Chain A
């Protein structure tokens, strides 16, 4: 089962990148020229994103490296103890929506300390897989087209991140906690 699912995700991408050109070629599309034409857009989009991502990454890094992030965690911990949320999984829950690479660091740290097959390890894995880095997605997606006013998008993103953290904790407890 595991290897089956693993191989689906391993094969999905290679399959797509041969299937598309083969079908297109059979339909008489000049595939090479078409590829180049479409690919031209990519560079401009990425360069356009630099100011947006630098702004966001600087703020996130300052917030984390200064110790302000740790302070925030310590402040929230007593509340979470009431709901029996393991303290070690909390930094991941918060950092998940702010920083992609930061949350991977915390995830691997949890794997190292508790093992990937521990309850906390599985809880953290679920959290990591169940949502995306909202601040990054917002910066990149809106930045690429020059949207200044994101309206309610950030609110929706952060609220659903919160829901996914809560859902991960509940689901992991239901499925993996020893009874």
Chain B
């Protein structure tokens, strides 16, 4: 599906630009897109380095274990395939906490760490495991209690009631997250059934 989306974006972009007579835009778009990709990666280096360092301290101090203990019931429900005392569980929970607090910058490194640890458990290294799909579903739906970026932008654009959107955001994000968890389960079961048939 990723292949199809990628192809459709590229081909339709070039065709539309050609038909509308501004094919030159494609060339600049390629250059800009490639530069943006590298820029984002370099931007990530600093926060990745910092948060993975912090995470290591938290891990060595046993803080991740404490967090994992508190959130164990939720984790057991969401990630039945991950052993409760596996390090991946700690990272998953830290990622979730950062998302909830609206600390997007901290959430990504913790999520990537969790991904890496889930890959250790994954029998087929090319293919996403069930737990990886769940981690992704939860991160794309992004359970957020404090949408910090949006709040900041609203203040910047002179809003009289910047925080008025917090309740609506929580409601909408809850709907999306619950649905994401449900869909994840549904497609997982469907994939199992298909496999069993073969």
Contact = CB atoms under 8 A, between A and B. Distances in A.
Interface residues of B, number: 108
Given A6-B163, A164-B141, A39 B176 contact: no
A79 interface: no
A171 B172 contact: yes
Nearest to A29: B60
A20 interface: yes
A5 B163 contact: yes
Interface of A: 1-2, 5-6, 8-9, 12-13, 16-17, 20-21, 23-24, 27, 29, 31, 34-39, 41-43, 45-47, 49-50, 53-68, 71, 97, 101, 104, 107-108, 111-112, 115-117, 121-122, 125-135, 137-138, 140-142, 144-157, 159-161, 163-164, 167-168, 171-172, 175-176
Q: For chain B, what secondary structure do more than half of its interface residues adopt (helix, strand, loop), or is it mixed?
A: helix
A171 B168 contact: yes
Contacts of A145: 115-116, 118-119
B114 to A, nearest CB: 9
Contact of A66 (B2, B16, B53): B16
23 contacts: A5-B146, A5-B151, A5-B163, A13-B106, A38-B53, A54-B33, A59-B33, A61-B32, A62-B9, A62-B30, A66-B25, A117-B160, A122-B168, A129-B144, A129-B172, A132-B142, A145-B118, A146-B119, A152-B133, A156-B136, A157-B137, A157-B140, A160-B141
B179 to A, nearest CB: 5
Q: For chain A, what secondary structure do more than half of its interface residues adopt (helix, strand, loop), or is it mixed?
A: helix
Contacts of B190: 152
Contacts of A71: 16
Given A121-B159, A126-B165, A132-B141, 11 more contacts: A2-B162, A9-B148, A24-B63, A29-B60, A35-B53, A45-B48, A57-B37, A104-B153, A126-B168, A145-B115, A147-B132
